[in-house]
């Protein structure tokens, strides 16, 4: 997630410098052909081009709204995961107790049970984060945002075993990384332990149902995130938005020549800067939508899952009474992952 209020010109140019050079060369070639070689057939009435511009603007607007909806839904899912995580923590700390146990369970053993259930939940969140950031073949259209992330040491690609080691035993880490969906298996382990604690009398029947419901809600949130990850933005909308934008950009200088010719031959060269400006605006609108289609692609526009996982970890470990807490995740060069 980009955190700066205004986007740096360095990033704008990183996305657009190649296009600007093309627009400059292309419009210069069209004007030169018309001016020096007398190719007057290059003049096109501006009316049909303006009609195309209106259609393209509406189409890009629809695409960008849909792209933003995907991004915002992804953020809402992770907001729900934050809330469910806090709910799970207070349920573990308040519902799991040794008041009616059928076997001897001291305070130290009880605290270890609390710690195990909460730390495994932190492992679930980080496992889900790593899984969502695994690349898919349709997320390779706009790699500029990914390059902005990948060149930073702070954003190197995570590995599942490394991310789970702080929260699980070595045996449990090894068991999880063998599974295709480690996050799913971690919730399964939570459910098994909750059932075992219920059988020991450490959780009563009502609280057992509530904790099981929370685990089911975590599955729902995981599934919602995986739905966005595994279902690409419909290509018919994304592809034709790109095609229509570039049809307009290619035709634009021919219409501009017609308009500036009305002012006099000396104004003909104004086609070049105005074409570059208008083409850059339309192309940027197209890129903004395209670079936000996939909110889990390890790019500059990602949902900041690492920061959210860190926030949840701090909250839950504070609930456990721990004082040696990790620092809050901070943006690196205005990028918060």
Q: Output the pLDDT for position 220.
A: 97
∠ Cα 80 84 90 (to 5°) = 150
Instruction: List average pLDDT for each run of 10 residues in the chain, which is 337 residues long.
Output: 75 83 93 77 82 93 90 94 96 86 71 94 95 75 51 59 91 91 95 92 91 96 94 84 93 89 80 93 89 82 90 94 89 78
Q: Output the pLDDT for position 314.
A: 95
* Through-space distance between the first and last CA atoms of the chain, rounded to whole angstroms: 6
Q: Output the pLDDT for position 128.
A: 95
Q: Which residue from 152, 182, 151 is spatially nearest to 165, judged by alpha carbons?
A: 182
Question: What is the residue whose two structure tokens read 């259609």?
Answer: 55
Domain ranges of the chain: 9-319
Q: Output the pLDDT for position 105.
A: 67
Burial of 92 (0-12, 13-18, 19+ CB in 10 A): buried
Q: Output the pLDDT for position 156.
A: 53
Q: Output the pLDDT for position 93.
A: 93
Q: Output the pLDDT for position 152.
A: 47
- Please give the model's pTM, rounded to 2 decimal places: 0.87
Which residues lie below 8 Å from residue 311, measured CB to CB, with a gap of 6+? 82, 328, 329
Distance CA 129, CA 85 (A): 14
Distances (CA, A) of 98 to 60, 90, 104, 204: 60, 16, 8, 11
């Amino acid at each position: 997630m980009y955190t700066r209020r205004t986007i740096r010109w360095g990033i704008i140019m990183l996305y657009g410098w190649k296009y600007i050079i093309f627009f400059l060369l292309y419009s210069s070639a069209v004007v030169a052909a018309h001016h020096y070689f007398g190719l007057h057939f290059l003049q096109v009435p501006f009316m049909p081009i303006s009609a195309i511009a209106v259609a393209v603007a509406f189409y890009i607007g629809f695409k960008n709204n849909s792209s933003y909806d995907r991004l915002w839904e992804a953020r809402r899912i992770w907001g729900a995961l934050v809330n469910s995580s806090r709910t799970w923590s207070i349920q573990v700390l308040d519902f799991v107790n040794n008041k009616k146990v059928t076997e001897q369970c001291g305070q130290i053993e009880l605290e270890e049970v609390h710690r195990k259930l909460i730390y495994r939940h932190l492992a679930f969140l980080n496992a889900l984060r790593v899984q969502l950031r695994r690349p898919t073949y349709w997320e390779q259209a706009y790699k500029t945002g990914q390059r902005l992330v990948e060149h930073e040491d702070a954003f190197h690609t995570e590995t599942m075993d490394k991310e789970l080691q702080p929260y699980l035993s070595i045996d449990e880490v090894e068991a999880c990384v063998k599974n295709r969906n480690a996050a799913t298996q971690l919730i399964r382990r939570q459910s098994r332990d909750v059932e075992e604690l219920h059988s020991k009398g450490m959780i009563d029947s009502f609280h057992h149902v509530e904790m099981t419901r929370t685990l089911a809600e975590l599955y729902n949130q995981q599934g919602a995130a995986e739905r966005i990850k595994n279902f690409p933005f419909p290509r018919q909308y994304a592809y034709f938005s790109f095609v229509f934008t570039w049809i307009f950009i290619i035709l634009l200088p021919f219409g501009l020549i017609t308009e500036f010719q009305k002012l006099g031959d000396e104004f003909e060269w104004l086609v070049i800067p105005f074409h570059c400006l208008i083409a850059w605006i339309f192309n940027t609108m197209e890129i903004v939508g395209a670079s936000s289609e996939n909110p889990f692609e390890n790019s500059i526009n990602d949902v900041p899952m690492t920061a959210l996982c860190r926030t949840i970890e701090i909250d839950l470990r504070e609930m456990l009474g721990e004082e040696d807490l990790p620092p809050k995740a901070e943006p690196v060069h205005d990028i918060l992952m």
